[in-house]
Structure 1
Amino acid sequence: MAGRRTDTRERIQRVALELFAEQGYEGSSLREIAERLEVTKAALYYHFRTKEDIVTSLLEDWGAALDDLLARETRPEALLTEYAGLVERRFGPVIGLVQRNATALKAIAAGAGLADRMLRLHDLLRGGSDTPEASLRARLALVAVQLAGAEDGPETPPDVALAVGLDILSPGRNADT
C-alpha cells in the first residue's frame, strides 16, 4: 500500500508542476489540480492540504536528493555531473518553478533549507580553493546546469549544459583534445 501512496503523491506533484508551469503558481488552484488528476478535492486533501504543501514536498524531495549526493560525492567534477543528472531526471521543473515564482515561493523555499545545501554544494565545487575565481567558477557551473534544466525557451541539451559547466569549473580540462 505504501507504494501506491508514493505513486499517487508523485503523480500529484507531477501534475501540479505541469499546471504551475502553464498558469503560474498563484494562477493555479487545488481544484484545478484535482480536476486534471480526475479525482475529488477530498482525495487530493488526503495527500496535500494546500498548494504550499505540494511545493514543500517538492523542495523537500530536492533537499533529500542533495543530502544524498553530498554524502556520497565530494570530487568537484563528479559532483557537478551527478547534480546535473538530478536536475535532468527530476528537479529541473522544480528549479524552474522556484525561479518563475520566486516572490510567491520565497517563504516556502526559505523553510525548506535548500540554501544551506546549495552553499555546501558550491563549497565542494570550489575544490578546496578559497579564491574568488574558484568561487565564481563554482557558481557559474551550477547556473549552467540549473538554467538548462529549468529553462522555458529553446532547450539546451543536458549534455551540453554539463559540458559547459565542467569547462567553467575546470578550465583547460579539454586542452589536450
Structure 2
Amino acid sequence: MPRGGGTREQILGTAMRLFVEQGYDKTSLREIAEAVGVTKAALYYHFRTKDELVSSALAEYRDAVAEIVAWLRATPPSLERNEGFVDRMTELMASDGGLALRFGQANPTLAEREEFGTTHVDAVRSLVEALVGPDPDADAAIRGTMAFGALVIGALGNAVLPIPGGPEPGAAAGRTVALEVLAPLADRLHG
C-alpha cells in the first residue's frame, strides 16, 4: 500500500480509510480532497474516479502480496520460514495494506465486483499455494488457509465476534494461532 509521504500516497491512504469508515458509496471525491487538504483539481491530477483509487490500492496490495509469495517460493519450508511469513503478513496488515482487506469487509457488495473481489481471492490463493506447495493434500491446504485466516481475523477483527482487547492482542493471538497451525507442515513439506 502507500509508501512514502507524497500527495498521491496521502490521497490513496485517506481515501481507503474513508471508504472503510464511511463506505465507498457514502464517500465523495470532495470529502477525500478535503481530508487530505488538497483541491479537488489536485486530487483529479492523481485519480479521476473512486474506482481508480480502489484499483490503485488493490494493485499495491497485490504487489505487496507478490513480494511475500516470491519470498516464500525462494525459502525452503521450516519453522523460521513460517515465522517470516507470519511476520511479513502481520506487517502488511498493520500498514495501509490492511486497508485493502478491510475495504472488502466494509464494502461487501463492491468487493463482489470481479475487478475488486478477484484481486483478494487470487492473492489468498497464491499465498496459500506458495506456503503449502502447488499440490497440497487436504490437511496442508486447510492449514495454509487457516493460518491466513487467523492472521486476518487477528489483525483486522471479525464482525461476528469482535476480538477482545483490540488490535494488538488480536494480532498477537492471530500470530500464535497461525504458527501453531503451520508448525506440522514445516518438516513434512521440507522432507
TM-score (norm 2): 0.76
Name 2:17's counterpart in structure 1: 18
Task: Report % sequence identity.
Answer: 31
Equivalent residues of 1:96, 1:151 under 8 A apart: no
Name 1:109's counterpart in structure 2: 116
Name 1:133's counterpart in structure 2: 139
**Unaligned regions of 5+ residues in structure 2, if any?**
187-191
Name 1:43's counterpart in structure 2: 42
Amino acid at match of 2:85: L
Q: CA shift at 1:33, angstroms? A: 0.7
Q: CA shift at 1:60, angstroms? A: 0.4
Cα RMSD of the aligned pairs, angstroms, is 2.6
Alignment of 1:72-151 (within 5 A): 72-74=71-73, 75=77, 77=82, 78-107=84-113, 108-110=115-117, 113-126=119-132, 130-151=136-157
Q: CA shift at 1:163, angstroms? A: 1.3
TM-score (norm 1): 0.82
Runs of 4 or more, structure 1, over 6 Å off, are none
Equivalent-residue separation in structure 1 for 2:167 and 2:180 (angstroms): 16
**Unaligned regions of 5+ residues in structure 1, if any?**
none
Amino acid at match of 1:80: V
Number of residues paired by the alignment?
169
* One of 172, 178, 189 as aligned partner of 1:159: 172
